[in-house]
Amino acid sequence: MNFTKTGKAGAVAIALLLTTALGANAAMDDVKIKATKLSDGIHMLAGKGGNIGVLTGPDGTFMVDDQFAPLTDRILAAIKGVGGDTPRFVINTHYHHDHTGGNENLGNKGVTIVSHDNVRKKLVNGATIKAFNKVIPPAAKAAVPVITFAEEMTFHLNGETLHVFHSPNGHTDGDAIIHFKNANVIHAGDIFFNGFYPFIDVGAGGTVNGVIAAVDKMLALADDNTKIIPGHGPLADKAQLVAYRQMLMTAQTRLSGLKSSGKSAADAVAAQPLADMEVKWGKGFLPTDKWITIVYDGV
């Protein structure tokens, strides 16, 4: 989803969720793609939608996620700007349209699209993001991943080893995490919203405990020098991922307590169990009440 840190941008994000692809075009006109260097040949690109990871080098460009279709030309220009070319591969961290919206454009340029098995299923069949009543129609053929995996896979490019692995029932049922092993970089996809409550797509199999489990897998790989690309929010370090985990654990404990005592989602919201977390975590796309409503079935 297209979550950013400010309320105004959050409103824009909601508007984007509700507009057609055509309507979204106008909202994309002002978007600029900002590249941040993480290591030799590795950059994070931020524009609108999920943060992009890029590995460049003599063996070709490898890309993680591709934001929205109207941004493809700007994203490819940004990749050229950091020394890359039309990617050889793009991997989708999950099926949401703010991470896969560029697939069709890239597929038409001959880019090989890679994803978890369940991402391909949702793109082929279409899906509904129930929390937002957002209907995702079946994707064009060029947008559909041609290589999929169930548990893990490894790419060997440009002297880098990219370990791609699945963690079940986290943000969705098809999440991929990408570990750039030599460079000590992790692309977390939407497992990690840095600094604010994450959207969790409970309708697509997402759960709070699954997000925590995926975070734990990343923490086991990370040290104090690891650079972590979150799905949304600024580039992160391990300490920020630890803080995020703590927030999720607290929420899971309190919300599951309410749930096991028979409280409905509306009761849980009324009980204000996370009132102390609103200031730090509720200023992004999702205020606390809305977040509880969205994740309650997934605790």
Determine which residue in the list 190, 202, 228, 284 makes contact with Zn ion, applying CB under 5 A. 190
| Residue 201 C-beta: closest distance to Zn ion, Å | 7
Residue 113's beta-bridge partner residues?
90
Q: Alpha helix locations (H) across 109-187?
A: 117-125
Task: Pick the piece of the chain touching Zn ion (CB under 5 A) from 95-103, 148-156, 159-167, 179-187.
Answer: 95-103
Least Å distance between CB 224 and Zn ion? Answer: 28
Residue closer to Zn ion (CB basis): 84 or 171: 171
Select from 96, 120, 166, 179 the one that contacts Zn ion (CB under 5 A). Answer: 96
116 binds Zn ion (CB under 5 A): no
* Beta strand ranges found along the chain (DSSP E): 34-39, 42-46, 52-55, 62-64, 89-91, 112-116, 127-129, 134-136, 147-149, 152-157, 160-166, 176-180, 185-193, 227-232
Pick the piece of the chain touching Zn ion (CB under 5 A) from 17-25, 88-96, 103-111, 252-260. Answer: 88-96
Measured from the CB atom, the residue of 197 and 273 that comes closer to Zn ion is: 197
Burial string for 198-222 (b: 16+ CB within 10 Å, else e) reads: bbbbbbbbbbbebbbebbebbbebb
Nearer CB in complex with Zn ion: 134/259? 134
CB of 1 or CB of 188, closer to Zn ion: 1
Q: Is 66 in the site for Zn ion (CB under 5 A)?
A: no
Contact 48, 67 (CB under 8 A): yes
Residues in binding contact with Zn ion, number by CB under 5 A: 3
Q: What whole-number distance in Å separates Cα of residue 137 and Cα of residue 132?
A: 15
Residues of the shown chain interacting with Zn ion in the complex, contacts defined by CB under 5 A? 1, 96, 190
